[in-house]
């Protein structure tokens, strides 16, 4: 069974993912945990319970709703 989540690109500006056929861009200024991470750490992502992205080596857990509707999640990293 193919994975429902795939890292498409890691650029100087952020990480582009495909999750269940939808693309998401995670810019480093909003998702700083990825900026200094190794490529292997970023690529090791799992989709848990159909809604949560989890990077075990980075200890990062993101709900898909926070990517689809960021206005509903006003707290951001500063």
- pLDDT one-digit tens code per residue, 30-76: 999 999 999 999 999 999 999 999 999 999 999 999 988 888 877 66
**Token code pair at residue 64:** 């898909």
* pLDDT average, residue stretch 9-21: 97
Measured between alpha carbons, how far is 48 from 76 in angstroms, rounded to an integer? 22
Other C-beta atoms lying within 10 Å of the C-beta of residue 61: 11
DSSP 13: S
Output the pTM of the full model: 0.86
Which of 35, 69, 49, 34 is closest to 4 using CA atoms? 49
Topology classification of domain 5-72 = NE0471 N-terminal domain-like (3.30.2020)
From the list 25, 2, 24, the residue with the least C-alpha distance to 12 is 25
């Amino acid at each position: 069974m193919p994975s429902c989540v795939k890292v498409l690109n890691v650029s100087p500006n952020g990480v582009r993912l495909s999750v269940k056929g939808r693309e998401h861009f995670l810019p480093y200024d909003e998702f700083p945990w990825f900026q200094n991470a190794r490529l292997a750490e970023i690529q090791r992502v799992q989709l848990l319970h159909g809604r949560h992205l989890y990077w075990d080596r980075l200890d990062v857990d993101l709900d898909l709703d926070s990517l689809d509707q960021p206005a509903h999640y006003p707290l951001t990293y500063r």
